[in-house]
Amino acid sequence: MRKRIVRTAGLVACSGLSGSVLANGWNMPVGVTDVSREIHSLHMIIFWICVVIGIVVFGAMFYSLFRYRRSRGAKAANFHEHTTVEVIWTLIPILILVAMAIPATATLKTMYDASEADLDVMITGQQWRWRYSYLGEEVAFTSNMATSRSQVSGESAKGENYLLEVDEPLVLPVDRKVRLLMTSDDVIHSWWVPDLAVKQDAVPGFVNENWVRINEPGIYRGQCAELCGRDHAFMPVVVEAVEPERFDAWLAERKEAAAQEALGVDREWELDELMERGEQVYSSICASCHQPDGSGSPPAFPALAGNQAILDDPDYHIDTVVNGVSGTAMPAFRSTLNPVELAAVITYERNAWGNETGDAIQPADIAELLDDE
Amino acid sequence: MASHLPPRPTAQQNQADAGGMAVDEHHHYGPRGLKRWLLTTNHKEIGTLYLIFSLTMFFIGGIFAMVVRAELFQPGLQLVEPEFFNQMTTMHGLIMVFGAVMPAFVGLANWMVPLQIGAPDMALPRLNNFSFWLLPVAFALLLSTLVMPGGAPNFGWTFYAPLSTTYAPPSTTFFIFSLHLAGISSILGAINIIATILNLRAPGMRMMDMPLFVWTWLITAFLLIAVMPVLAGVITMMLLDINFGTSFFNAAGGGDPVLFQHLFWFFGHPEVYIMILPAFGIVSVIIPTFARKRLFGYASMVYATASIAILSFLVWAHHMFVVGLPLVAELFFMYSTMLIAVPTGVKVFNWITTLFRGSLTFEPPMLFALAFVVLFTIGGFSGLMLAISPADFQYHDTYFVVAHFHYVLVPGAVFAIMAAVYYWLPKWTGHYPHTRLSQWHFWLSVIGVNLTFFPMHFAGLAGMPRRIPDYALQFADFNMVTSIGAFIFGASQLLFVVVVVLCVRGGEKAPAKAWDGAEDLEWTVPSPAPLHTFETPPHFEPHRH
Amino acid sequence: MTEQRTDDTRKGVRRTVARTLVALAGMFVFAFALVPLYDVFCQVTGLNGKTSNQAEALVHEDADEGRMVTMQFITRGSPGLPWALEAHTRQVRVHPGQSSEVEFTFENLGDEISVARAVPSVTPSEASLHLRKLACFCFQNQRLAPGERFEAPLVFQLTRDLPDDIQTVTLVYTLYRQDAAPSPGSGKQVQGGDA
């Protein structure tokens, strides 16, 4: 990291001071990347500049308010122009702004650094979850909020990381440059982790990029920052930063698990097994819209319990889940879920909440559908 | 203009001084009752209609804000569902911006611009009537979406595509239609104001003699003419995308959702200044009155207002720093945005220098104007912080932004409107507002506003995104304080209604020149101002000191 | 004198109104003109990673042998379209100036004919200025029968003036259905059942 003269000594002292004056939880986090530190120090510099200007301006104002009260016998003077003064107080702010713009420009350039990354991760926003794929590694998964609806409604006690916990965090290695590509399947989302100082909009049909090099292992939490519909508050981001060796091991493990799951496609599954697996998938993926009891919230999200259109026609049901419905909030799960998960969740929907079709949709059939020749 | 009005005796108008309580006996011809208000072409009556409408919308939008704050009082979902919450935040924003703040300024302009420039009425009185009556229609339509299937607009007042197009509730078409009506109303109002100011000034009043309220409104009206058609264009494109299969903002058909944001903010940033420039004018009129000293740097005030207006067209993408702009665009919009601090700073310095060596008293209008200077400046500071593009990656779409724009809009625009109402109430009603109650209203408002919006800075910096119905536990304390502040602020506005109603019905009688430091032409006509004033143009003498 | 003034005033008002109306009309047209202007602006500045939607000519220049850039390809589907789109190569390393070809396969996995288009987006957006597509399936709609497969090449060139600091360019194709688009005006209203 290049040292910049502008941002040394006194200015660093500012951010040091801030640590004690504004305890954590009140102020922007310093974060765990070089960029986040730079941003934090910019934030503190501009903050203190504002404080100083504020003291001068409000000081002059309140001095006048107390000193020149008519009740104290003040007589109004009769001046109303002074070109020199006016020029001075136009120029001084310009100088302050220029001084501020210099470090801000430098930081911005760092943030737009496009050098080669060690790892590329594609982040896809979906109403209302994130999907992460490690490019070139064949590892991809969705990350859903793990906080239970009963905590939200107040039926059970709220946990420590209420609304900021997920079923599967994004695992990243520390000390490596990770390039983050963002896009969206539906509306605009914004992927934000304050400790990483990364906030980038995920725009449907377009791809954005940002990057991060994390300095310390740890768990960093954030949220979707752009209003994306009903469950905007319920699509947290959790990043777990680990040592590179642990990361490599984790990645290998994920690949192995995916391979294992792929093997499961070929065997015959029992209804009970599918129901059990399906319930997990349903509660993490489907329940946020269609409700845990399958009652939905029509008209946007149709009920599944007692829904004759899907119960009478398994193919229609499968098609809807696999391919989604264009122009609606129903995404295509063909690439999000594997054949086992698809079969399980469809089976679950066909047999839960009083839906008693007795159908056990087999993963092998779904797999065949997916690679239809 | 206004030639359909019968000629009026003119003698009393110019020299009506203290005690000139000329009750106008002649305005009772023509329609009466409801029809009179429906058909009125009198700028004072239309001004009153605008102000009453705006106050009504202020309370409706306020109720929506109370729903939002009640839900956010503590973590968890207690009162409303997230869908309804989103409708509340959206409707709160739309109603406050287009229904409360803008019509309030237009109402003040209707009342005061002709009086301040010595004109008998607005240049186009019938158009004036039409542009007002569009508003109740527009907002009745907008509010009716709350009971439509699928609910009201729920995509935020900035209605970003595709959430507001492909994924929007069916009521969106009605929302677009009502916004069109409100936009037409603003445009017609702006045309009228420009025509009035440019053509109907009293003989001898040059442009650089006009009171600053008139100046800032003239510039605001030009901004309206420039950007309201762009808003109309954007929502027309939305309408086409939704109902006619075009793809302006839909990537699937070769469109671009980011284009929506560029177009919206090309309108939206000047719109922000439309809501603050008349406030600058009001404060620039009130402070000299109660400092009993001419405004410092009149000319630089005018130039600063004009430069803010021009700069407002060059900064729109600072609302979009995280949308994926190239580096050069980030830099350009960061620099241009920082530049706005310069003319804004000039204004604040001028106000303070006007106070310096004045002879100050603190009547209710002055209290609100002073609170405006302090609290608007705080909003300006957070604006300067937001301009720093790298830092904006952390601030963007958090409660820090919510704190910022509420500081410039509530203790900014709304306080200025209240200052104006307190300032001109004696002229409108012939009575002074109740001093004690006004002071209570002021202090409760100041406490409420700061309790509401100051903690939002902390919540935002600590990581709370905006527009969420539920939040993580570390934001709980800030939100509770904010909600309590909001309830105080909301309730204290009832006091404002009480003050206004009492003032209309009676109170200490006000002379023509109700404030001893007041200098503009409106103070030469009796209080309350008769229905018809300045039918013979007054003689205007520049710099009456 | 008052008469005179009234007359002058009336003329003045008429003139002011006429001028503001012209300005209004101009701004309304300008708002729509911003749409094509935006596209031009995007292509000139590379804003938003848009690429040209028609074939461009090869710029004849020697490959910059001293420099390697990674060109990544990502393909994505979208709801309501049972298609698969795959790049035969996930990424290629190219020298700026050289032209390369990559094969893509479209496949309709559904049981009816459908029409779709692959909509491209490039990041970093500055790179889109320097990415020239000599041939691309993304310039037109594809129409596939059930089960039909279709191979199509992308021929592209990254010109030598690609800024030095850009070392990876990502090209994302998102498949969007172009036929039988359900009226978006109906929003999320889905009749009957679906999951």
* ipTM score for this prediction: 0.89
Mean pLDDT of B261-265: 94
Residues A141-184 have pLDDT tens digits of 989 999 988 899 988 999 999 999 999 999 999 999 999 999 99
Per the prediction, chain C carries an average pLDDT of: 81
Q: Which residue has the higher pLDDT, C49 or B174?
A: B174
pLDDT at A7: 41
C189 CB neighbours in chain B (<8 A) are: 150, 170
Residues B140-156 have pLDDT tens digits of 999 999 999 889 999 99
Subunits next to B (3 or more Cβ pairs <8 Å) are: A, C
- Residue of B1, B229, B234 lying closest to C10 (CB–CB): B1
Greatest mean pLDDT among B238-247, C44-53, C159-168, C174-183: B238-247
pLDDT at C50: 72
Q: Which residue has the higher pLDDT, A113 or B401?
A: B401
pLDDT at A314: 86
C195 CB neighbours in chain A (<8 A) are: 286, 290, 304, 310, 317, 320-321, 330, 346, 349
Contact between A54 and B78 using a beta-carbon 8 Å cutoff: no
Which chain B residue's Cα is nearest to A210? B324
Asked whether the predicted pLDDT for residue A38 surpasses 80, the reply is yes
Domain locations in chain C? 48-177
Chain B and chain C share a number of CB contacts under 8 A equal to 130
Confidence band of B3 (pLDDT split at 50, 70, 90): very low
Which chain A residue's Cα is nearest to B350? A86
Contact between A46 and B391 using a beta-carbon 8 Å cutoff: yes
Contact between A188 and B360 using a beta-carbon 8 Å cutoff: no
Interface test with A, best of B91, B264, B393, B458 (most A CBs within 10 A): B393
Contact between C21 and B328 using a beta-carbon 8 Å cutoff: no
Contact between A192 and B149 using a beta-carbon 8 Å cutoff: no
Q: Is the dihedral of CA B219, B225, B230, B231 positive or negative?
A: positive
CB contact at 8 A, A369 and C107: no
pLDDT at B29: 57
What whole-number distance in Å separates Cα of residue C48 and Cα of residue C119?
Answer: 13
Give the end-to-end CA distance of chain C in Å, rounded to a whole number: 80
Mean pLDDT of C172-194: 55
Interface test with B, best of A21, A45, A46, A209 (most B CBs within 10 A): A46
Interface test with C, best of B199, B227, B244 (most C CBs within 10 A): B199
Domains of chain A, with CATH numbers?
Answer: 5-72+80-111 (1.10.287), 119-260 (2.60.40.420), 265-370 (1.10.760.10)
What whole-number distance in Å separates Cα of residue B279 and Cα of residue B212?
Answer: 10
Distance from CA of B117 to the nearest CA of C (A): 14
B327 CB neighbours in chain A (<8 A) are: 108-109, 112
Per the prediction, chain B carries an average pLDDT of: 91
pLDDT at B543: 66
pLDDT at C88: 87
Mean pLDDT of B240-244: 92
- What is the CATH code of the structural domain delimited by B45-51+81-268? 1.20.210.10
pLDDT at A149: 86
Contact between C119 and A332 using a beta-carbon 8 Å cutoff: no
Confidence band of B2 (pLDDT split at 50, 70, 90): very low
State which fold the B276-451+487-532 domain adopts: Cytochrome C Oxidase; Chain A (1.20.210)
CB atoms under 10 Å from CB of A248, counted, come to 12
Q: Which residue has the higher pLDDT, A244 or A300?
A: A244
Distance from CA of C36 to the nearest CA of B (A): 10
Mean pLDDT of B355-380: 96
C45 CB neighbours in chain B (<8 A) are: 326, 328-329
A100 CB neighbours in chain B (<8 A) are: 338, 388
Range scoring the smallest mean pLDDT among B250-259, B305-314, B392-401: B250-259
Asked whether the predicted pLDDT for residue B126 surpasses 80, the reply is yes
What whole-number distance in Å separates Cα of residue A290 and Cα of residue A301?
Answer: 6
Which chain A residue's Cα is nearest to B83? A230
Interface test with C, best of A207, A301, A308, A348 (most C CBs within 10 A): A207
Confidence band of C195 (pLDDT split at 50, 70, 90): very low
Residue A336 CB contacts under 8 Å (≥ 6 apart), including other chains? A126, A131, A142, A285
Greatest mean pLDDT among A228-237, B34-43, C34-43: A228-237
User: By percentage, how much of chain B surpasses pLDDT 70?
Assistant: 94
The torsion angle over the Cα atoms of residues A330, A335, A338 and A343, rounded to 10 degrees, is: 40
User: 3-state class of A29 per DSSP?
Assistant: coil
Chain A and chain C share a number of CB contacts under 8 A equal to 150
Q: How many CA atoms does the CB half-sphere of B190 hold within 13 Å? A: 26
Contact between C119 and B251 using a beta-carbon 8 Å cutoff: yes
Asked whether the predicted pLDDT for residue C133 surpasses 60, the reply is yes
**Stretch(es) of chain B classified as CATH 1.20.210.10:** 45-51+81-268, 276-451+487-532
Q: Both tokens of residue A162?
A: 């209420």
Interface test with A, best of B72, B79, B290, B322 (most A CBs within 10 A): B322
Contact between A28 and B394 using a beta-carbon 8 Å cutoff: yes
CB contact at 8 A, B165 and C184: yes
Which of B252, B307, B264 lies closest to B164, judged by CA?
B264
Distance from CA of B21 to the nearest CA of A (A): 28
Which of B106, B96, B89, B103 lies closest to B60, judged by CA?
B96
Mean pLDDT of C127-149: 85
The domain C48-177 having CATH identifier 3.30.540.10: the answer here is no
C109 CB neighbours in chain A (<8 A) are: 369-372
- Residue of C166, C189, C194 lying closest to A114 (CB–CB): C166
Distance from CA of C69 to the nearest CA of B (A): 20
pLDDT at A24: 57
What whole-number distance in Å separates Cα of residue A63 and Cα of residue A65?
Answer: 5
Paired sense of beta strands C69-76 and C168-177, if any: parallel
B237 CB neighbours in chain C (<8 A) are: 32, 35
Residues B459-487 have pLDDT tens digits of 999 999 999 999 999 999 999 999 999 99
Long-range contacts of B498-503 (CB under 8 A, 24+ apart): B498/B437, B499/B433, B499/B434, B499/B437, B499/B438, B499/B441, B500/B55, B500/B421, B500/B425, B500/B433, B502/B433, B502/B434, B502/B437, B503/B425, B503/B429, B503/B431, B503/B432, B503/B433, B503/B434
B393 CB neighbours in chain A (<8 A) are: 39, 111, 197-199
B327 CB neighbours in chain C (<8 A) are: 126
Contact between C170 and A209 using a beta-carbon 8 Å cutoff: yes
Contact between A135 and C90 using a beta-carbon 8 Å cutoff: yes
pLDDT at C97: 87
Asked whether the predicted pLDDT for residue B443 surpasses 70, the reply is yes
Residues B58-76 have pLDDT tens digits of 999 999 999 999 999 999 9
Q: What are the residue numbers of the active site of B?
A: 92, 121, 157, 185-186, 269, 271, 273, 284, 318-319, 344, 347, 466
- Residue of C9, C24, C119 lying closest to B229 (CB–CB): C24
The residue behind tokens 């935020």 is B156
pLDDT at A322: 85
DSSP state of B411: I
Greatest mean pLDDT among B38-42, B328-332, B498-502, C48-52: B498-502
Asked whether the predicted pLDDT for residue B409 surpasses 80, the reply is yes
Q: What are phi and psi of C194, to 5 degrees?
A: -160, 165
Which chain A residue's Cα is nearest to B304? A90
Asked whether the predicted pLDDT for residue A17 surpasses 70, the reply is no
- Residue of C2, C31, C47 lying closest to B326 (CB–CB): C47
Burial class (CB in 10 A: 0-12, 13-18, 19+), B88: buried
Interface membership of B268 toward A (CB under 8 Å):
no
B378 CB neighbours in chain A (<8 A) are: 54
Mean pLDDT of A303-329: 84
pLDDT at C166: 86
Distance from CA of C116 to the nearest CA of A (A): 12
Q: Which residue has the higher pLDDT, B41 or A5?
A: B41
Q: Both tokens of residue C5?
A: 């003034």
pLDDT at B333: 95
The residue behind tokens 């209240």 is B418
pLDDT at B423: 97
pLDDT at B18: 35
